[in-house]
Amino acid sequence: MPATLTGDTHRLTPATGYPTFAARPPVLTVKPGDVLESETLWGEWYERAGGEWPGEVGPIRIEGAEPGDTLVVEILKVRPNRDTAVSTQGGRFGALVPDQGTAMLNEPFPRGRYVWRLDRAAMTGTVDLPGSAVKSVTLPLRPMLGRVATAPEGDEAFEGLWPGPFGGNMDAADVREGTTVYLPVFHAGALFYFGDGHALQGDGEVCGSGLETSMEVALRFSLLKHRMIAWPRLEDAEHIMVAGSARPLSDALRIAFVELVEWLVADHGFSREDAYQLVSQTAVVRVANMVDPLYTVVAKFPKRLLAGATGASAGR
């Protein structure tokens, strides 16, 4: 991780969300070291079945970012700011139902919409289960951001459901408070987006949604100059990680692990052969989502095994 810079704090109250990740004029410009305090968007989708998704916040321009750099986003805060969260399921969206890419003869799973009650002081969520012997369940929350992205390469524009090398809708539960996210820069200013707050989400996001709600967020930005990465990287207190997105799931796993091995070789003093061996015995895999147009896998390596064991970074 680069040395922490001190800068200004900006407060952004978003008024408009965008349905695509693309290069467009920024809503705010910040400098490396600056902190952004903002929130994800709330809209009709959260309030009624069939409501329109509010889109993502951004783009945020980071002064000095150029193609070939890496954008560093420290997640300082992700906390729910509403007392409810919604999880939908069924139809033709989800890991266990037929979708457009996996045709089956069976009928779609019945559509459902669960409204969870959030206790923001206790950081728990409670849901009623009227069809079950256990009539309600309360779970601890683990707030996260489903979508963090830079504008994709060239003139590409990806709808909000898509993950890719630019980040996007990875739905990785590791994108939470205390994690640093590294994203490749394809355009001047990086053009960063965020949104899709989940108060809780299990691995795979198998029903197609987490506990969807809006979040108060605080993010600190910095840059790794002239260090391009191929896929998003993450770092927390315990692991360095790479997120790969593809279909089939096995290709997403291969992307994540190949990039993880290459990172260990390039920045942490391992030979390729030794890195392959050590990753094979120590790595942890998270299937972040198996519902989006591309599936996302996060491959993790324990930081305690790095030389010095004092930290890591996406590049030096």
- The residue type of 130 is P
- Position 129 confidence tier, pLDDT thresholds 50, 70, 90: very high
What phi, psi does 116 have (nearest 5°)?
-90, 140
Residue tagged 């004092």 (tokens): 310
Q: What is the mean predicted confidence (pLDDT) over 17-25?
A: 97
Q: What is the mean predicted confidence (pLDDT) over 123-147?
A: 97
Question: Cα separation of 296 and 311, whole Å?
Answer: 25
Q: What is the mean predicted confidence (pLDDT) over 115-133?
A: 97
**Domains of the chain, start order:** 9-83+141-224 (2.60.120.580), 233-305 (3.10.28.20)
Question: Cα separation of 119 and 197, whole Å?
Answer: 16
pLDDT at 98 over 90: no
Q: Where is average pLDDT lowest: 5-19, 41-55, 300-314?
A: 300-314
Higher pLDDT, 316 or 87: 87
pLDDT at 100: 73
pLDDT at 279 over 70: yes
pLDDT at 99: 79
Q: What is the pLDDT of residues 36-79, one digit of tens each?
A: 999 999 999 999 988 999 999 999 999 999 999 999 999 999 99
pTM: 0.93
* Summary mean pLDDT of the chain: 94
Question: Cα separation of 189 and 187, whole Å?
Answer: 6
Question: Cα separation of 139 and 150, whole Å?
Answer: 32
Going by the DSSP 8-state scheme, the letter that residue 212 receives in this structure is B
- Position 314 confidence tier, pLDDT thresholds 50, 70, 90: low
Q: What is the spatial order of strands in the sheet that 167-168 belongs to?
A: 28-30, 57-62, 192-198, 144-150, 167-168, 163-164
In angstroms, the Cα distances linking 221 to 82, 99, 108, 230 are 26, 38, 43, 19
Q: Are 115 and 86 in contact (CB under 8 A)?
A: yes
